Structures are given as structure tokens and as C-alpha cells.
Structure 1
């Protein structure tokens, strides 16, 4: 097929790559062999004594690989076998890396679990995955205990934040946590095991034959429709994607980078761009369990001199608008890749001026491990574009109703479809939804409405499901949001279509977080929009808020905003007279 985007590739990026025939366990083994004494994880919890002392701990690659062997031995002796699902309900920490790669080493399948899930959400995911083992922090135990009888969980491994730390950090963290109101004491019970005890097992895991085509990960996603379901990602899928990322960042320096891991590993974006890419590169992975408040991230960048910073727009927005940003030296940052949500142009430009590094927008979805597109890091990028397809990745646009291919002409808008080695094997126990998502030719239908220019740069116009129908016209939220971000008083904005119970169409509503020390009015915002938007795109309703609801990855929960609005609406009743006519 025609691939005009190949001309945009930076020097050194090949259109076709050679992918190692290895498992994810092999990935860590290889790096530990090459860089045994290099720092693998730098677990940063807190700075004290004016920043002269860090509460946390480091592991080099040899130590990390040995701990993985110990945990793999322990899990196998506890009864975990190849193909069994192991839930990980952990923040970014050495615990996550150790248990993830231990599961990979014995052929188990990791099930990523969001630590903020309620008991109901946790029960639904564990039951759907059929997980028999779960690893979680002691703080999360009460939620599991409440619903465990309704799941297939046989083994519970309880971790404490201080498990992998050395004295005096271990003592400081332990005492601090035990004094906290959130502290949860877990008593030994049958089938409850402690992470620290399992690290005492010998580093002699059994040899398990694992084919790279076998499933490594269940990544739960809403997909293009319906309830959350598990995208089945193989070792081969994830190795392919991290190989593509490695090729894309042409100036990545093996064994010398400091990669800030502030986006969660339990989301596949953080897993691939922070954890797996960091290991592929032999980087020091500066592991941040909680990036909030944003000054945590700023302080760590300045203190640790981080060079690579994968993130989400909310992080970059928070940094450039922080009142004390000038107090932090952020100029060690060289490369940033933004994903998970649209990156406003003004944010990109301001962040680059602040740090001197390159901030480029990429694109992906859980079903593709997740990355499929990116702007060239040091090459030509285009305003508002998600960039061009990665090596060995095909992309096309199809007409929403007929499925016909559309031209790359800056005008035609259709659903983005992608195909490549990073595309999932399918949804777990969802054959019909798998068939809807991936067609017979291997094209993954993303559910995103895009356009592309003749040079092969793609632009996300919006999600199919987020399109607003107002007064018979189609309104794409991103069109309106880009204009709102142009207003000097707007820090964050999201636009949604609120169903109107009487009219039967949508009301365009904007939810805005104003910049500090500004006080814009709805009339002012609407007048500004009128200068840049057709009349039917101008928000009829504007609500100013202190913050916007987000997922832990940083995506704005547009759906939640719509649901909040719907609960406010009064039911419409018609006065029916005796004649039966309204």
C-alpha cells in the first residue's frame, strides 16, 4: 500500500525493523547481562534534609534480575503455572517490576489492575480474568477481602512499600506508614503470603518453555464500545512495540539515560514507554509511585536530572502553569513523548521553551500495545498532528458508513484503522467483539475519527462516540477545545455533548479550569469562540470548575461529566388534556 509517511522518517529510522524472537523475561535477562551494575530502578519516595537525603532505594540490573528469579521460584512453588492469570494491583514500585517479570519467567499472564478500583470494579475484573493469584499493597487489602469469596483468587501476596528498601529508608517508611491513618495491618491467614518472605526463596526458577506468540498481558480497556474487556497482548506484541519505540527515539543512549516513570505501569502506555523501553535501553528508571501533586514530578526531574519523560498532557499543563516552576531546573529533560489524550499546541510550545527539550505527541490504544503513531522526535512535526505511523505499521482511513478507503488529502475524515506487529491477538472471551475490532485482513478499527495530509501525517479529529449532534450539525469536541486553549485565561478545557431531553439533540457544553489569578466570564468565552468557530459550535453552556475528573492516567472523564449533567436534568412531562392532545 502507499506509505507517504516514510519520507518523514528521521535519518536512522528504518521503515522495517528486525524484531528479536524473545519473551519479556528474555528482555530483562539480556539487559542484566549487558549492564549488571547499572542502576535499574531508583525508587523515589521523598526528599528530606533540604534534598540532601532521598527516602527510597536503588536496585541495579543484576539485583533486579536475581529478585525476579527469587519471586518466580516462590510463585511456582505456591502453585502458579503457565497460562494462569496473576493480578497486579500495585503502584509504580520495584514490587511491580519484580512480580511482572517473575510472572513472565514462569509463563503466567499478568492482569493489570488499577489500584483505585472500588471493590465492585475489582470483583468484576478478577472474575472476568479468572485470576487465581493477586499481588497488592497492604493498603488495598480491605477491598479485596470484601469481595474475595466472589472471585477465583486462591493466593494473595501482600506487599509493603518498604519491602525492597534498605536501612534507614526501610525504617523511616515503615514507621511513617504505621503512624498513618491509612495503615492496614494484614494478619497471616491461609493462602495469604508476604512479598518480603517470598524474596527469600532461592533464585532457581524452573525452566518453562514460552513461545513469544503466547499471551503475556491482559490489559483491560473500554475498547471502541461496551464494558471493559481484556485486550490479550502477547510477548511478541509488546517486544515489537518497545522495539519500535527504541528505533523512533534515534538519540537514545543505551546505559546512560535517566527515564522518569511517573505514568502508571498498570496502564500499557506507562508499561511500554517507561518500564519496558527503560529496560530495553538499560536506563535508570526513576520510579515514582505518585506523581501528584505535580511538584513531586518537578522536584524529581530537578534532583535526579531525568533525561526522558514520557507523560500525559495533564502533567505538562500542570508544570507550565505551576506558580513556582521557575524555582526548578528542568533543563535536563531532552525527550518527552505525550500520549493518552490530545496535546494542546500551546502546551507543547510553552513546555519546550521552559525545558529546552523536545515534546512530541504520539498516538496509540491498549489494543496496539499501545503505540502506532508518533511525530519524529527531532524531525519535522506538524501542529496538532499525532504524527506518522511507526515502522512496520500500516494505517488507513475508512468511510464511517461504507468502509471505503479515503484519500490523504487534508479534508476527508474517517475512522482510523491500523495494522502491525503490535496489534493484539483479540479480546479475552469476546469473539464477537474481537471480530468487530479486527477484520479478516488484520486491520484494527480504532474508533477514532481522523484525517491525514498528503505527506502521511495523521490528525485525530475525535472519537466516534464523542461526536456531538447539535441543531442537526456534527460538532467535534476537539475543534472547540483547541479554540478554548487559545484563550489566555483558560488552563484546561473539555467539551461534551449533553443530551437535551426535549429537543432530542445535544447541547454543546464547555467545562473550563481557569488559570490562577484570572476570572473569565461565560460571555467573554463565548465572544472569543465566536471569532474562531461557526455559530453552532459555540458552547451554549459554560461551567467553570476547580478541576476536571480524570482517570489515573490523566484522561479527562468526559463520560462522567455527561452523566453528572444528566442527573441534574428534570424529567420532561407533557400536559395531556382530556382530548389526548398535548
Structure 2
């Protein structure tokens, strides 16, 4: 086995409240008596930080962040727990020793292909063992990971590969045809001349016997024929690459904390996706912050259910990085399917299950949920959208575990806030800032800090905040100012330091001069016993400028009329907030992590209107 480096403990020492982080570049310790540096944008010195009073005693106000490469978590795990299961996928397991060995072999293979330190390597894989091996292999080679959504169409894929300058991509055979159309017939002369290598694996490579034999048979029955020109155009078989022996190759020294670890592209809901530059320190810090929040978790004992995609920053940090930090078992599911999730929980007994609200909604409304054994679940962190109270209460009743709402964004690696798991929770809030994380509500127009209870833009700073956007200094300057990240989200802070997100600034509906926040209306609709999912948008209105439209998915077997929903809302909302239009649907458009895409609803609405106008209706 390769030498693994020093015998570091799995968890670095936490500072007591008020101690300064070990890393000289760390943010100031967040003791309530410490003054923050003044800001030219009106954020005052002497932030009160009332949230620190509500930290459970087990959570330190500040954490020491070692100058780690994120791979050090894997090295620590294999030093201490080499034979523990690191990954479970469809019945096949991989120990920490095997995971590390695979990552080292892949790193050697990448270097043999000419991948140099600092170059970008794209990983376009669903949840499978190769995705985990590839992540650590790319980093061990000294390269930068570019996580790529397997659902991308050619236009999106070409943009990301071109923008990042990726020199290689690791993907599955099922996606090769799409990739080849992007690269062209002569890759060196096509639109992506820098993309020299395509490393191709197959889902079967991560399956146990006999599933690995049966899977290709099923592929052929489904009409898939792998026509991959291995040996041409830089196309290499993943299995062959990691099987090769490279006696003369030495891995580079691990990149330091300040160096770039990943380009994590934003979802593109606000325009062209941008590459968020996350350093090793960003990822290490956020993983340690999450671990501090989950202080009852035990090294070598936790099982993490990964129904969220690892290529998304939430899955990357809260699942993969956190699981490896804790030497846990990462239970991979290729996609979220309620039947499979319930069966997996009953059989494999995961203890930690991060997800999106829509996942928990699907599970509590599943016909088999009441009979499933979900008692192993201890911790669930919900992100990507607001968590309705009814969903939280029902899921906790089913599992006996704790389901909390948190908040984050890709630009913060991603988590900045969460409700305490075993402390004072405030329903409907995103909780309080993490250790070493400051948060302030400011006036969007002036940048002045607003008093407790007033609505404004949430800004944050901390060691998890990105370095900036890749090759976009002007875009970076818009959101990173004087060390603060401007989130674009509207929020309030109460006297205890708990924050509540109202909506994205761009999602506000202005009807007749009144501001309406979609989330507030959605919460009321969610309370109706017939409503399974709800999304609210603003649509053009000749009289009011905009008006409220609700898209509703009903629970199975339920019926409700528009007039009934109207009465329900009028009893609970001011008249100007009540939806004027209701549309009932079977499903709502969602991202890969289950976030409802309001933008997509608006696009569909505009297309429907254009079609009607073309028909003269």
C-alpha cells in the first residue's frame, strides 16, 4: 500500500469560544465580544452575534482549520479505519484501503496521460463508486475537479468544458455519444481542442457479481450499443487506466489549503452558469463546520444515505466529504426513487440522510412509508428550498430522528446556516450561522446594516466563502465585497440571531405596489391537507403589474377546487397575497437535487401564452 502520510486524528481540535483559528488567514473568532472590521458599505463594527448564545455547549464558537488538502480526510480515514466500508453501491462494497488504492492508481493514470498540476479534469458521473474514486484521484494528481451534471445537454456541456478549460473528462459509456458530439470527429480541431482525453467507465464497473454480468445484457435489451473508439481521439477505458502499473511516476505534493480544489458550476438559474472557485480550505472548513454541528456523530460508525447527487455541491460536502471525514459508510443511490430509498433505509440502516424538501415530501406521502422501518435515521439536513413545518413534523414522526432546515449556496461550499440539531430550533427559519461565520442583513440599495426584524439582503462571510468566479472578475466584484458574499436572498434576523429567508430578490412579486414573497404563500398552501407540492410565481397583469399564480400538485386520492383553495388562502393571507390563478399539475419541474424551478414554470407560462396568441385565442 502507498505511504499515507502522518497519523492525523480524524477531527482537528476545536477551539474554545473566543480562541483564534490556527490558520493565519482564517476569519476572526466569532465570540460575541469580538469586533468585526468595519466595512465601507455600512456594515458596522462590533457585530453583536446574538446567535452564539444559542449554540449548544458542545459546539465551539470557533474551530481550528488545518492547512489541509481535502484529500487529507481520506488519508486520515485509511490510516485509522483501513478495513471499514467506505462505499456501498447496489450490494458491492469498497473499504477505505480499496478507495485510497483506486484513487492513487487513477492519479498515476492521469499523470501518465500528461495531466499536470492545476489543470482541470471534469467528472461527469452519476452516484457510483467511480465518482468517489475519481474525485480523490483527480485531486491526488494535483488537478482541479470540475463536477459536471450528467443531465447536461450538448450546449451546456460544451459551455462548461470550454469555460473551465478541462483537459480530460471522466464519464460513463451511456454519455459518450453526447460527449462525442460536443468534441467533434477530430477533437484537436473541434470546439474543445484542449480536451485531450475522455476516460470512459460503465455502471457495471461498480456493480457486484452477478449484476455486473447482467447489466450489459439489460443495456442491449434497452437498445444501447457501446460504440466507443478506445485508443482513438484520446479515448481511454477507466478500468484499463487504473489497472496499469506506473513504476516511475510520483504523485505531486498535496496542494495546500489556499490552492484551488474544485470548479463548482452554479445551476444557471440566473443566467449562464459560472464556475465557483472553491479552495481546499473552503471545502475543509465547511466540512469541519458541518461535523461540529453534528457533534453526536461517531467516527467509523455513521452511515450516510446519498440520494443527492455527489456532483452537486450539497452532496459533495454534506455527503462525500463529511462521510470520509468521519470514516463513515457512503451508501450510494444512482438517483432518488422513493421505493428504493425506503427499501435501502430498512435494509442498510443509514443514520444520516441529507436531502431536499421534495424528497421528504415524496417519502412521507409514499404508501409504504408507514410500514417501513426508518428508525435508524438520526440526522437529516434539508437544503435547496424552504422546509414546510408539516413535512418536518411528519418525517420526524416517521423516523424518530431530527430533520432541520439549513441554508447555503454554491459560493459558500455550500452551508452557512442551520438550526441546531439538538438545541433550540425555530421552525420556518434557516437557523443560525455556523462557527466562524458572520451574517448580516443589509439594505439592498444602500448596503447599510438593518436593525433586527427588518427585511433586506443577506450577506455572509467565513472560511467557506469562495475565492471568486472562474475568469469572471467583474461578476466576482458584484458579489464579493470587502470579504462579504452578497447572496441575493432576502432575509430577516430576529433578536436571537435566527435568520429567515423570504425569497430571492429576483423572485419578489410586486402586485399593485405591494411586495409579495412566494415562499410565504407556498407555506400557506402546504398547510392545506390536499396539497402535496406548491410553487408560486408572479405573472404579468394589466392592472396590478404582476399577480400571483400558484402551481399545485395534489396528494394521491385528494381533490380540491380552485374556489376551496381561494377560501383557504383568504383566511390566512392578506387579500393582495392571495393567488389569482391556480394550475393543477402532476409534477413540478425540479433540478437534480429536487429544487422546484420557478424559472422553468415562468418559461412554460410564457410559451403557453405565445401559443395561445399564435392561435388567436
Band the TM-score falls in, shorter-chain normalisation: over 0.9
Q: What residue is the counterpart of 1:268 in the other structure?
A: 313
Cα distance in 1 for residues equivalent to 2:330 and 2:320: 7
Q: What residue is the counterpart of 2:199 in the other structure?
A: 157
Q: What is the CA distance between 1:92 and its match in structure 2? A: 0.8
Q: What residue is the counterpart of 1:241 in the other structure?
A: 286
Q: What residue is the counterpart of 1:298 in the other structure?
A: 342
Deviations 1:198-254 (A, max 9, x none): 121237652313221111111111579542100000011000000001111010011
Q: Residue 57 of structure 1 contacts residue 169 of structure 1 at CA under 8 Å; is this kept in 2?
A: no
1:170 aligns with 2:175: no
Cα distance in 1 for residues equivalent to 2:566 and 2:446: 37
Cα distance in 2 for residues equivalent to 1:549 and 1:224: 13
Distance of aligned partners of 1:449 and 1:63 in 2 relative to their CA distance in 1, 3 Å threshold: same
- Give the alignment's Cα RMSD to 1 decimal: 1.6
Of residues 134, 138, 149, the one that matches 1:103 is 138
Q: What residue is the counterpart of 1:128 in the other structure?
A: 163
Deviations 1:261-291 (A, max 9, x none): 1100100000000100000000011011111
1:335 aligns with 2:379: yes
Of residues 74, 81, 93, the one that matches 2:109 is 74
Gaps in structure 2 of 5+ consecutive residues? 1-46, 184-189
Q: Which 4+ stretches in 1 moved above 6 angstroms?
A: none
Of residues 78, 97, 108, the one that matches 1:62 is 97
SS in 2 for 1:86: strand
- Larger mean CA deviation between 189-198 and 384-393 belongs to 189-198
Q: What residue is the counterpart of 2:369 in the other structure?
A: 325
SS in 1 for 2:374: coil
1:200 aligns with 2:246: no
SS in 1 for 2:589: coil
SS in 1 for 2:203: coil
Q: What residue is the counterpart of 1:351 in the other structure?
A: 395
Distance of aligned partners of 1:469 and 1:32 in 2 relative to their CA distance in 1, 3 Å threshold: same
Alignment of 1:172-571 (within 5 A): 172-188=214-230, 189-202=232-245, 206-209=250-253, 210-222=255-267, 225-292=270-337, 294-408=338-452, 411-439=453-481, 441-500=482-541, 502-503=542-543, 505-569=545-609
Q: What is the CA distance between 1:328 and its match in structure 2? A: 1.3
Q: What is the CA distance between 1:323 and its match in structure 2? A: 1.5
Q: Residue 85 of structure 2 contacts residue 328 of structure 2 at CA under 8 Å; is this kept in 1?
A: yes
1:14 aligns with 2:60: yes
Q: What residue is the counterpart of 1:34 in the other structure?
A: 80
Q: Residue 173 of structure 2 contacts residue 226 of structure 2 at CA under 8 Å; is this kept in 1?
A: yes
Cα distance in 2 for residues equivalent to 1:268 and 1:184: 30
SS in 1 for 2:336: coil
Task: Number of aligned residue pairs: give it.
Answer: 557
Q: What is the CA distance between 1:555 and its match in structure 2? A: 0.7
Deviations 1:457-477 (A, max 9, x none): 000011001000112211100
SS in 2 for 1:526: helix
Q: Residue 419 of structure 2 contacts residue 425 of structure 2 at CA under 8 Å; is this kept in 1?
A: yes
Q: What is the CA distance between 1:176 and its match in structure 2? A: 2.6
Normalization by structure 1: what TM-score? 0.93
SS in 1 for 2:552: strand
Q: Residue 66 of structure 1 contacts residue 203 of structure 1 at CA under 8 Å; is this kept in 2?
A: no
Cα distance in 2 for residues equivalent to 1:30 and 1:372: 25
Distance of aligned partners of 1:571 and 1:39 in 2 relative to their CA distance in 1, 3 Å threshold: closer
SS in 2 for 1:125: helix
Cα distance in 2 for residues equivalent to 1:220 and 1:94: 22
Q: What is the CA distance between 1:168 and its match in structure 2? A: 2.6
Q: Residue 258 of structure 1 contacts residue 283 of structure 1 at CA under 8 Å; is this kept in 2?
A: yes
Q: What residue is the counterpart of 1:50 in the other structure?
A: none
Q: Residue 71 of structure 1 contacts residue 201 of structure 1 at CA under 8 Å; is this kept in 2?
A: no
Distance of aligned partners of 1:24 and 1:539 in 2 relative to their CA distance in 1, 3 Å threshold: same
Deviations 1:296-337 (A, max 9, x none): 111111110111101111110000001121231111111111
Cα distance in 1 for residues equivalent to 2:280 and 2:60: 22
Cα distance in 2 for residues equivalent to 1:19 and 1:173: 44
Normalization by structure 2: what TM-score? 0.88
Cα distance in 2 for residues equivalent to 1:254 and 1:27: 12
Q: What is the CA distance between 1:183 and its match in structure 2? A: 4.6
